[in-house]
Structure 1
Amino acid sequence: MTPPEIALWLALRGNGEGLRFRKQHAAGPYVLDFYCAPARLAIEVDGEAHNHGDRPERDATRDAWLIAQNIHVLHYSAREMLANLDDVVRQITSVAVERRATIQS
């Protein structure tokens, strides 16, 4: 895991909502950076490599496949992760709590 991913992993593990996240979770032919099963939520930390070559197309194909599986995807840049980790964790937690409630009802 990269330093931004490690920082996010440590923060997600200590969330106050009782949400459980998995790291490097297999989903079909893909490996997700993080996944919250009860919320059907994937979190991807995108480094600079995600902006070059065929990577944007591959990411879009993966996201389309995940959406077809009813998995919501959140993307954050590695730079944003390091600069605004608390805000990112709050947003992820909020989305996960909302999705978990919707899915369970």
Structure 2
Amino acid sequence: MPHAPIPPQRRANARRMRKAMTDAELKLWNELRAHRLMGLSFRRQMPIAGYIVDFACPIHRLIVEIDGSQHALAPNFVSDEIRTQRLQSDGWIVLRFWNDDILRDIDNVCSHIIRTIGTDPP
């Protein structure tokens, strides 16, 4: 499946976001980077379907999104739902975690990611 074109501004935004990670993103990235989580390969701030996702494991078509409190507000919640539906229609599994889940219980977050993926690539 070919990649959706990513506008240069959005690609620049992804680079900026990789350099200015939130505390929750940094904590999860430290668990995911360099194949630390069960040997899985994750990328951060990856362009997919015209969006920039927080983390993606392409071989398993898994996306992990980290949401702050602003995502609970109606306009953001609706936008997130549309985004999730688009990504799922392209065959991706989308997991969403609150910042607080990652900051307080990273082990359970990682366990959930592993359970979702299972052991074999698709």
Paired residue total = 100
Q: Which structure has more RCO (C-alpha within 8 Å, separation ≥ 6)?
A: 1
Instruction: Give the TM-score taking structure 2 as reference length.
Output: 0.77
Q: The residue matched to 2:97 in structure 1 has which SS? A: strand
Question: In structure 2, what is the equivalent of residue 7 of structure 1?
Answer: 27
CA-to-aligned-CA distance 1:23-52 (integer Å, 9 cap, x gap): 001001111000000110000001011012
Q: The residue matched to 2:63 in structure 1 has which SS? A: strand
Which one of 77, 80, 89 corresponds to residue 98 of structure 2?
77
Instruction: Give the TM-score taking structure 1 as reference length.
Output: 0.89
Which one of 43, 55, 61 corresponds to residue 64 of structure 2?
43
Q: Which stretches in structure 1 are left out of the alignment for 5+ residues? A: none
CA-to-aligned-CA distance 1:65-100 (integer Å, 9 cap, x gap): 01100100001000111110011012112322x2x6
Deviation beyond 2 Å, 4+ runs, structure 1: none
Q: Which stretches in structure 2 are left out of the alignment for 5+ residues? A: 1-20
Structure number, greater radius of gyration? 2
Aligned CA-pair RMSD: 1.3
